[in-house]
């Protein structure tokens, strides 16, 4: 993940100083454990200022409004108590070439600041600290005690100290080319590494941009550069410093990140805030997506393994119980031929009543014939009772396995993060598993609950809409809330998969191509995705029912028609 470097921070602060001073603080909201939002209002409009201290995504920029869920964090409550209603009167770069901003607040513009909010964008050491006018720390996003750092403690009630300055030479626009070249080439080495080692405030991203603009390679050694290479490199070095001095930034997108310099032919953006908000929102969501998917996949795999073992044990007991009639038959034979029993016998062979075939009956030599027969009758009754008890247990376990396989199929359909809808779909699956008591409730990042995630939507050859559920919540909404009298409901036959709804207007009749298209997609969004042909059923929604007490997404149907779905055909269309 690309960090906010000094150049980016100057671009953000320059824009905020130009357009958002002064601004009134109308609201403070903490989005998650690493992010707060300040509602700013100036004479023209109202925006949300995002301030984050995430170890990989520390940032400050104008961003999207926070979700409409309760804020239960202590840090935001303290900020709200002190800053609400005050004016943001100044934004100061606390020290040259340091990534620390001082946001100053007062009753009104022109007055002395009452509060300082120090935003420290320093990777894993990032922090947000509220300090009063006397310089005393009132609260901090992350408090640091002496055990955590002997160099700099951040504790409530202590005086605020600026971060220790980094070592290295400060870049200067006035420095001559000969001096600059001598410093960079003093120790022979790779070009990018030598630039980074020679000056502070220069990030790997900016160094690579300077080198790329000069049409050089970061892997080139300083010894291999010609005079013209040094001249071109120095030109863009100074262009970078000139951009910092004049705030002539040009935000743009890279394929794997962003830039505020915009020297190359790149996709430009409206402003730096839009880039930072979009980039870090997506990167953090991607990170959260991977964590949730790994957690859910591992949990469901373990649960299914245990349930399969339990089902195997029940099946073995049922197989044993099938011998109950055999024990009764042996007991009957023994009782009918008591005269053939001899003391000390370990087995006896008798002719079967129906077939006349010889049947060997094991005996306990310490018991007489009647006692052996009674033991056989007892085994018959015991196994008969076991069958009555085990059968419903096996059915319950198999039902649970079917449900978890349905959830597992939904998880497997969401292979990679593409947008916020993918994360929302995963979040709903996790909430469902918590409700079903497969997962323990734990504090999760606040996420908007204004609306549920939406199903996939496709268009059939005749132009009808086809909706495909992405999780059990969507499946139930499609089948039992959204489906109309004229729609058609599709699902793979006895195979876990998505509920699929072909939306039809009154009087509309789908062609065979529409039905085949729907069946293909139903097969593709199922556990049998990799098969060549998959049986798919379709029926009217009124013929689909949810069994009483069934888990989410489970349904039974009647009056169905079977059609063979071809998941590979859908795969070709969707790739």
Separation CA 111–CA 89 (nearest Å): 9
Token look-up 């591992």 returns 298
pLDDT in tens, 367-376: 999 998 888 8
8 A C-beta contact, residue 242 and residue 230? no
Strands 358-362 vs 347-351: parallel, antiparallel or unpaired: antiparallel
Neighbours of 181 (CB within 10 A): 18
Identify any residues that bridge with 483 across adjacent strands, giving them in sequence order. Answer: none
Neighbours of 442 (CB within 10 A): 7
- pLDDT reported for residue 449: 45
pLDDT in tens, 179-219: 999 999 998 899 999 999 999 889 999 999 999 999 999 89
> Sheet holding 87-93: strands in order across?
59-63, 46-52, 35-41, 23-32, 87-93, 100-106, 115-120, 127-132, 137-140
Token look-up 């000069």 returns 214
Q: If you write DSSP's letter for every residue of 112-153 in order, what string do you get?
A: PPSEEEEEE--GGG-EEEEEETTSBEEEESS-B-TTT-SS--
Neighbours of 107 (CB within 10 A): 13
Separation CA 207–CA 193 (nearest Å): 9
User: 320 vs 379, 393, 568, CA distance in Å?
Assistant: 11, 15, 43
Q: Residues near 523 by Cβ (< 8 Å), separated by ≥ 6?
A: 492, 497, 529, 531, 533, 534, 536, 565, 566, 567, 570
Separation CA 142–CA 503 (nearest Å): 52
Separation CA 385–CA 389 (nearest Å): 6
- Phi and psi at 419, nearest 5°, equal -160, 180
8 A C-beta contact, residue 273 and residue 19? no
Neighbours of 487 (CB within 10 A): 21
Residues of the chain with confidence (pLDDT) below 50: 445-446, 448-450
- Phi and psi at 142, nearest 5°, equal -140, 110
Distance of CA 534 to the CA centre of its chain: 30
- pLDDT reported for residue 448: 45
Give the H or E element holding residue 63.
strand 59-63
Identify any residues that bridge with 106 across adjacent strands, giving them in sequence order. Answer: 87
DSSP-based three-state secondary structure for 45: coil
DSSP-based three-state secondary structure for 518: helix
pLDDT in tens, 333-357: 889 888 888 899 999 998 888 888 8
Separation CA 399–CA 394 (nearest Å): 8
Identify any residues that bridge with 120 across adjacent strands, giving them in sequence order. Answer: 100, 127
Give the H or E element holding residue 359.
strand 358-362
Tokens coding 237: 């070095």
Neighbours of 160 (CB within 10 A): 18
Distance of CA 175 to the CA centre of its chain: 48
8 A C-beta contact, residue 398 and residue 318? no
Tokens coding 32: 């998650």
Separation CA 82–CA 28 (nearest Å): 10
Instruction: Report the half-sphere exposure of 9 (CA within 13 A, side-chain side).
Output: 29
Separation CA 60–CA 478 (nearest Å): 40
Q: Which residues of 53-71 are buried (b: 16+ CB within 10 A; e: fewer)?
A: bbebbbbbbbbeebbeeeb
8 A C-beta contact, residue 460 and residue 515? no
Closest by CA to 359, choosing from 325, 320, 322, 330, is: 330
CA-CA-CA-CA dihedral for 66, 72, 75, 78, to nearest 10: 100
Identify any residues that bridge with 63 across adjacent strands, giving them in sequence order. Answer: 48
User: 262 vs 95, 196, 239, 458, CA distance in Å?
Assistant: 26, 21, 12, 38
Neighbours of 353 (CB within 10 A): 11
Q: To the nearest whole number, what is the mean pLDDT of the chain?
A: 91
- pLDDT reported for residue 264: 76
């Amino acid at each position: 993940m690309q960090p906010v470097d000094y150049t980016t921070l100057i671009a953000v602060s320059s824009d905020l100083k130009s357009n958002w001073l002064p601004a009134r603080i109308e609201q403070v909201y903490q989005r998650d454990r690493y992010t707060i939002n300040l509602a700013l209002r100036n004479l023209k409009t109202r925006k949300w200022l995002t301030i984050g201290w995430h170890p990989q995504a520390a940032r400050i920029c104008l961003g999207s409004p926070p979700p409409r869920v309760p804020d239960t964090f202590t840090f935001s409550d303290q900020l709200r108590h002190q800053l609400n209603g005050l004016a943001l009167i100044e934004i100061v770069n606390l020290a040259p070439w340091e990534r620390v901003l001082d946001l100053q607040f007062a009753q009104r513009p022109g007055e002395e600041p009452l509060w300082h909010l120090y935003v420290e964008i320093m990777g894993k050491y990032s922090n947000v600290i509220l300090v009063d006018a006397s310089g005393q720390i009132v609260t901090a996003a992350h408090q640091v005690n002496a055990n955590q750092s002997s160099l700099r403690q951040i504790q409530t009630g202590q005086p605020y100290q600026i971060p220790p300055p980094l070592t290295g030479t400060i870049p200067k626009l006035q420095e001559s080319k000969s001096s600059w070249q001598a410093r960079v080439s003093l120790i022979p080495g790779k070009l990018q590494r030598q630039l980074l080692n020679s000056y502070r405030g220069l990030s790997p991203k900016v160094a690579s941009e300077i080198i790329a603009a000069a049409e050089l390679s970061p892997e080139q050694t300083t010894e291999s550069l010609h005079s013209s290479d040094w001249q071109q490199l120095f030109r863009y070095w100074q262009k970078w410093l000139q951009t910092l001095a004049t705030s002539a930034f040009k935000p743009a997108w890279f394929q794997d990140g962003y830039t505020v310099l915009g020297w190359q032919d790149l996709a430009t953006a409206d402003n730096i805030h839009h880039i930072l908000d979009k980039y870090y929102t997506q990167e953090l969501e991607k990170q959260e997506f991977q964590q949730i998917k790994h957690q859910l996949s591992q949990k469901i795999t373990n649960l299914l393994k245990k349930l399969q073992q339990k089902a195997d044990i029940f099946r073995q007991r049922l197989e044993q119980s099938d011998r109950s009639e055999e024990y009764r038959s042996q007991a009957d034979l023994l009782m009918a031929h008591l005269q053939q029993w001899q003391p000390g016998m370990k087995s006896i062979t008798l002719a079967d009543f129906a077939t006349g075939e010889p049947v060997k009956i094991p005996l306990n030599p310490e018991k007489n014939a009647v006692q052996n027969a009674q033991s056989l009758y007892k085994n018959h009754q015991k196994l008969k009772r076991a069958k009555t008890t085990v059968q419903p247990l096996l059915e319950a376990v198999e039902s649970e396995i079917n449900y978890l396989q349905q959830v597992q199929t939904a998880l497997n359909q969401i292979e990679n993060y593409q947008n916020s809808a993918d994360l929302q779909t995963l979040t709903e699956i996790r909430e469902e598993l918590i409700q079903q008591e497969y997962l323990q409730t734990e504090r999760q990042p606040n996420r908007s609950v204004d609306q549920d995630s939406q199903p996939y939507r496709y268009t059939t050859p005749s132009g009808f809409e086809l909706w495909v559920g992405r999780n059990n919540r969507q499946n139930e909404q499609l089948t039992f809330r959204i489906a109309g009298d004229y729609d058609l409901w599709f699902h793979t036959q006895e195979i876990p998969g998505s509920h699929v709804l072909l939306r039809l207007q009154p009087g509309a009749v789908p062609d065979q191509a529409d039905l085949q298209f729907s069946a293909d997609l139903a097969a593709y969004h199922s556990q049998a995705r990799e098969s060549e042909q998959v049986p798919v059923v379709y029926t009217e929604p009124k013929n689909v029912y949810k069994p009483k007490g069934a888990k989410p997404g489970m349904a039974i149907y009647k009056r169905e028609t079977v059609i063979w779905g071809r998941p590979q055909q859908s795969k070709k269309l969707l790739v």
